[in-house]
Amino acid sequence: MIHELTIHEARDRLVAGEFTAVELAEAVLERILAVDNLVKAYLTLTPEDVLAQARAADERRAAGENEPLLGIPLAIKDVLCTKGVPTTCGSRILERFVPPYDATAVARLKAAGALLLGKTNNDEFAMGSSTENSAFFTTHNPWDLDRVPGGSSGGSAAAVVADECLGALGTDTGGSVRQPASLCGIVGLKPTYGRVSRYGLVAYASSLDQVGVLTKDVTDAALLLRCIAGHDPRDSTSWDVPVPDYAAGLTGDVRGVRVGVPKEYFVAGMQPEVEAAVRAAVDVLAGLGAAVAEVSLPHTDYALPVYYLIAPAEASANLARYDGVRYSLRVTSGGLGEMYTATRGQGFGPEVKRRIMLGTYALSAGYYDAYYLKAQKVRTLIKADFDAAFEEVDVIVAPTSPTTAFRIGEKADDPLQMYLSDVLTLSMNLAGNCGLSLPCGFDEAGLPVGLQVMGPALGEEQVLRVAYAYEQATEWHLKRPSIRA
């Protein structure tokens, strides 16, 4: 079944002429038709457009073109702008927003020949860890439909593992690529802050947001990153440094690579099967010749409060633009001021309002120093922890999430419990480093466990190299769920 292929497998077979881009697109669309009523990964599908793009890709290939993603069907998280295709951010307040332009990451995928299948579900404005905060519906984990796929890029992660696309874009502000990748048993890569342009990414927390990729294996993550990374004059926070050929560094050889295991990441309340799977993965890396050592990231415990002060503070400013004047929804009631408050009160969902309230409070007169400034200072210490650790080791490995996928509804009424599911991913965003999650086992209920591999700023090559070596030494990445109602 060709919809089950990875990007690199499909590309090789398209090049060899074993099937056409139209046949591949039809197979994936058929798969979506068969399972998405159960998984509910997509908010918007553009099937006619996909087939038109596929026909064009076949014509281009016949004319001798061979872009790296020519004819490969991908999915896009609904917080990234897509020209002429609705971009709702999972919010009522943008329900009818149709961007007049493509995000740079999307434009670069198109330029590399990719076909866009549609937009995937996410927690509203990327705020959440389960997709339950989407204003439209919850996405279901293909391994167990009663469980969440993780979030906020849960639609992208579920679509990848359910073979409803060959790969997908997500975004990661506090773990929103890595955590759903972990809960769905796929690869999710969060690049270094500044590595990928954020032009056209609807802003949540601007000092933390980064575009990432969700794929079926490490090679695909390397291929997609190569296509989307690099300087963009439209994003002044994008880094102007060369983009390496990430796939070329995937040798399977990790002899002598220094791998650190942070003792603070094996937290109280961690599911024992998660710890066991990650410890076993460390043993595999040691067996491959990596030099494993314990490291310490002493301020790990403070990452959660720091994140949930800084991110909501930035969000409260970024989301001020949704006022009923320029985008989509307007709720009229009296004059201009009433229009603002009514539009925002009705247009935003509960978690978005909670974070706007929290951020507004943290920035308000009398509390700024005690909360926001304090958080920014502790952020300095968290970054210094990583800088010191990366003096001693090349990568750090740890669990991605303290548990496997939880049940839909289980944490929905307790925001603090929900926030704790990001406790192992937040620090890296605060430090601006890069990292990925890849599958490293299953719990007794048959749910995937994720291994997080973290690197320093612009350390994607060593992260991918270690992840690839582990992946090739194991078979977890080959497992797929059988989706049953």
Partner 1 sequence: MKLSRKEVQHIAELARLALSDEEQALYQEQLSAILDYFERLREIDTETISPTATVLPLRGVMRDDVTQPPFPRDDILANAPDSEDGCFQVPAVLE
Q: Which residues are designated catalytic?
A: 77, 152, 176
Which amino acid belongs to residue 128? G
Site for partner 1 in 356-395 (CB under 8 A): 356-358, 360-361, 364, 371, 373-381, 383
Cα 230 to chain center, whole Å? Answer: 18
Are the C-beta atoms of residues 186 and 221 closer than 8 Å to each other? Answer: no
Min dist CB 448 to partner 1, Å, is 29
By CB under 8 A, tell whether 203 contacts partner 1: no
Q: Which position among 194, 212, 439, 455 is part of the footprint of partner 1 (CB under 8 A)?
A: 194
Alpha-carbon Rg for the chain in angstroms: 21
The count of other CB atoms within 10 Å of the CB of residue 335 is: 8
Q: Which residues, including other chains, have CB under 8 Å from residue 371's CB and lie 6 or more apart?
A: 309, 361, 362
Q: Which position among 236, 268, 482, 485 is part of the footprint of partner 1 (CB under 8 A)?
A: 236
By CB under 8 A, tell whether 237 contacts partner 1: yes
By CB under 8 A, tell whether 454 contacts partner 1: no
**Nearer of residues 68 and 456 to partner 1, judged by Cβ:** 456
By CB under 8 A, tell whether 207 contacts partner 1: yes
Min dist CB 226 to partner 1, Å, is 21
In 3D space, the residue among 173, 45, 50 whose CA is nearest the CA of residue 120 turns out to be 45
Site for partner 1 in 214-233 (CB under 8 A): 233
By CB under 8 A, tell whether 326 contacts partner 1: yes
As a whole number of angstroms, the distance between CA 305 and CA 307 comes to: 5
Phi-psi region of 28 (alpha: psi -120 to 50; beta: other; left: phi over 0): alpha
By CB under 8 A, tell whether 267 contacts partner 1: no
By CB under 8 A, tell whether 299 contacts partner 1: yes
In 3D space, the residue among 81, 77, 165 whose CA is nearest the CA of residue 121 turns out to be 77
Min dist CB 120 to partner 1, Å, is 21
Min dist CB 455 to partner 1, Å, is 14
The residue range among 31-39, 48-56, 175-183, 430-438 that interacts with partner 1, by the rule CB under 8 A, is 430-438
Instruction: Determine the straight-line distance between the first and last CA of the chain, rounded to whole angstroms.
Output: 21
As a whole number of angstroms, the distance between CA 181 and CA 188 comes to: 5
Q: Which position among 62, 336, 388, 478 is part of the footprint of partner 1 (CB under 8 A)?
A: 336
Q: Which position among 16, 334, 475, 485 is part of the footprint of partner 1 (CB under 8 A)?
A: 334
Element (H, E) at 111: helix 104-111
What string of DSSP letters covers 132-165? TT-SS----BTTBTTB---SSSHHHHHHHHTTSS
**Nearer of residues 86 and 142 to partner 1, judged by Cβ:** 86
Strands (E), 301-394: none
Q: Which position among 197, 316, 400, 437 is part of the footprint of partner 1 (CB under 8 A)?
A: 316
Task: Give residues in contact with partner 1 (CB under 8 A).
Answer: 96-98, 100-101, 193-194, 207, 233, 236-237, 239, 299, 301-302, 304-306, 308-309, 316, 320, 323-330, 332, 334-337, 339-342, 344-346, 348, 350, 353-354, 356-358, 360-361, 364, 371, 373-381, 383, 415-416, 419, 430-432, 457
